[in-house]
Structure 1
């Protein structure tokens, strides 16, 4: 049996968008989820250890992806760092954000597998 797909959701402060994604996908069968922020004063700052744990990082904006690729080069292959293009316009658990995440995230992760699996 393969282990669950490990997904880390990333925004800047880890207060609104990425924690919302973590909350709504927490009980997704076959997934383990976490969230973090790129800012050093984020609720949970992104770390090399977290990215090495993850199979996929799902960034809310391109700038978050750019930061991960620069600051943590090699912790997660670039092709496993995805971008949703969601601006910082939402509150935590915003109903519109939930609808968007539920539509985008499963599509973006379709076919994703744990690192090292065939």
Structure 2
């Protein structure tokens, strides 16, 4: 199963919501993590290595990953979703469904 890794800052709202959309998905597996030292689950190289596609919420997350990790051969997708949504916010889910339609 192809692995999708969703990244935001604190792994509290956006990336866990995206991960939840793929719970029990028949084609993809999903995980989520954050770039901040205060992240619920902090991204690490093992997670990057596991992922077939890394999806970041903002361009700053992509820049942080490039500074900290070996991304050789990894597809990085910037979703451009601002940090203004709560976990499972209906508007966030609609945006994710639209931007992730090729995976869902």
Same fold, TM-score > 0.5, yes or no: yes
Once the two structures are superposed, residues 7-49 of structure 1 have per-residue CA deviations (whole angstroms, 9 ceiling, x without a partner) of 0100000000000000112222210100000012200000000
Once the two structures are superposed, residues 36-89 of structure 1 have per-residue CA deviations (whole angstroms, 9 ceiling, x without a partner) of 0001220000000000011111000000011111110x24535x0110000001
1:62 to 1:11, Cα distance in 2 relative to 1, 3 A: same
What are structure 1's unaligned runs of at least 5 residues? 111-118
Equivalent in the alignment of 1:90: 85
What are structure 2's unaligned runs of at least 5 residues? none
Q: Normalised by the size of structure 1, how large is the TM-score? A: 0.82
Paired positions, count: 104
| RMSD value, Cα | 1.5
Structure number with larger C-alpha Rg: 1
Runs of 4+ in 1 over 2 A off after TM superposition: 74-78
Q: Normalised by the size of structure 2, how large is the TM-score? A: 0.93
